[in-house]
Amino acid sequence: MKTQEIDIGNLSREERGKLIFQRGRIARKNDYWVVGSQTSFKAYKVRVDRENPVCSCPDCELRKKKCKHIYAVEFYIKKQIDEEGKITTTKGVRVTYKQDWKAYDTAQTNEKIVFMKLLKDLSDNVEQPEYKFGRPNLPISEMIFSSALKVYSTFSLRRFMSDVKIAKEMGLIENVPTYMSVSNYMNKEELTPILKELIALSSTPLREIEDNFAVDSSGFSTCRFARWFDYKWGKERKHRVWLKAHLCSGVKTNIITGVKITEGQENDSPQLAELVRKTAEVFNMNEVSGDKAYNGRENFKVIEEVGATPFIPFKKNVTGKRGGCAVWKKMYHYFLYKHDEFLEHYHKRSNAETCFHMIKTKFKDNLRSKSQTAQINELLLKILCHNVCVVIQEILELGIKGEFIVEKEARE
């Protein structure tokens, strides 16, 4: 039976891949395969030299699973017969990246000591308010140091007090606050803007390294619950409240350059402008990548204003009409006619997911604090600790200086 007579719609992806293989529209180019479309004159890039094969076709990008083109290449690889009749097997080489294990081991085995010293340098940049009257407060720099060290340890407030005493013996702080003092300080709303500035400051050692950035968001669970009355079933229900962290991060080192904390149900798109502008205060931005949630003309304008190129994929229901945004039309046609090239830039955003994985693995994905203000500050402290850890790693791997640069003139 001829291929054209078969009802392709009733076949599985593997069966359709076998038909493509039989038609012979498969060719090897450098480190990828070119596979012809089954229903048009298009061709797609297939890479099988990795743990999870990928294809540039919409089916594979949407499902994140094997498509018919990947199956076709696998059939081709399984049994390739040359002109002399010999059976040869073509195997893809898995790409691996060299790890500087010496630098990694040194960073990990000495991280806590170096972390405390860098945290001390970082917190010393916070100005102490002028004393007026009443009982003197503990220095803000020392309270921020203690709060960040508590989050870094992932211990409870009482169990963490031993670390504060060790910090005093090392000469990093002058006073040992009680565990309730640390708890009360994390409940202060005025701590939130200070932590955001410290996060931006902690990224400055890498401003000569990073120029491509990704935006993304992820949720962190809390111990609070919201209740509502379900009229359909006539009873009260509840669900866990969670906070969402919106981040802008460098794709090379996973340093976080901009952050905004919102309620869990907040949309991602409106947060991009603040994240990008905050990053542009310190870094020279070349590219900004994000998923379809950030697709919008206003976001494209903001990215263009800071001198960067937006690599955000377009939804099916949009058109190339510029609508007052020239870069929208330009990137729309780039997305359509140079799709593979566009995706090479876009997929850098996967590093943003790595960034969240690093935070949640090391400092956990839940927030212990009870009040919303303390939860926001705790989440910001997790991000601050992450940045300091990234700086420690890059001091040894890239040879950067662990200096936090304060540009007072630029900030005034």
Q: Which two tokens stand for residue 151?
A: 């989050």
pLDDT tier for residue 86 given thresholds of 50, 70 and 90: low
| Pick from 332, 386, 189, 196: nearest CA to 274 | 196
For residues 77 and 179, state if they share a domain.
no
Q: What is the C-alpha to C-alpha distance for residues 357 and 342, in angstroms, rounded to an integer? A: 25
Q: Is residue 178 part of a domain?
A: yes
Q: What is the pLDDT of residue 63?
A: 80
Q: Is residue 93 part of a domain?
A: no
274-331 pLDDT per residue, tens: 999 999 999 999 999 999 999 999 999 999 999 999 999 998 888 888 788 899 999 9
For residues 343 and 300, state if they share a domain.
yes
Report whether pLDDT(4) > 60.
no
| Pick from 156, 369, 145: nearest CA to 243 | 369
Report whether pLDDT(207) > 50.
yes
337 SS3 class: helix
pLDDT tier for residue 411 given thresholds of 50, 70 and 90: very low
Q: What is the pLDDT of residue 337?
A: 86
For residues 80 and 158, state if they share a domain.
no
For residues 79 and 186, state if they share a domain.
no
144-191 pLDDT per residue, tens: 999 999 999 999 999 999 999 999 999 999 999 999 999 999 999 999
For residues 79 and 111, state if they share a domain.
no
- Transcribe 157-183 into DSSP letters: HHHHHHHHHHHHHTTS-S----HHHHH
User: 47 is in which domain, residue-wise?
Assistant: 3-88
**Last residue in a domain, options 66, 88, 110:** 88
Q: Is residue 94 part of a domain?
A: no
Q: What is the C-alpha to C-alpha distance for residues 58 and 61, in angstroms, rounded to an integer? A: 5
Q: Is residue 8 part of a domain?
A: yes
**Last residue in a domain, options 88, 120, 154:** 88
pLDDT top residue among 402 and 8: 402
**In this prediction, what percent of the chain has a pLDDT beyond 90?**
53
For residues 237 and 288, state if they share a domain.
yes
For 54-78, what is the mean pLDDT?
84
Report whether pLDDT(237) > 90.
no
For residues 269 and 328, state if they share a domain.
yes
For residues 300 and 324, state if they share a domain.
yes
Give the chain's domain count.
Answer: 2
E-strand ranges in 251-376 read 256-263, 287-289, 309-311
For 70-97, what is the mean pLDDT?
61
End-to-end CA, the chain? 77
10-46 pLDDT per residue, tens: 788 888 888 888 887 788 887 788 898 877 778 888 8
Q: Over the chain, what is the mean pLDDT? A: 86
Which has the minimum average pLDDT: 127-131, 140-144, 165-169, 385-389? 127-131
For residues 338 and 373, state if they share a domain.
yes
Q: Is residue 136 part of a domain?
A: yes
Whole-model pTM: value is 0.75
pLDDT top residue among 63 and 313: 313
For 360-381, what is the mean pLDDT?
94
For residues 103 and 74, state if they share a domain.
no
Helix axes 297-305, 326-337, angle to 10 degrees: 100
**Last residue in a domain, options 41, 58, 88:** 88
For residues 42 and 110, state if they share a domain.
no
pLDDT tier for residue 408 given thresholds of 50, 70 and 90: very low
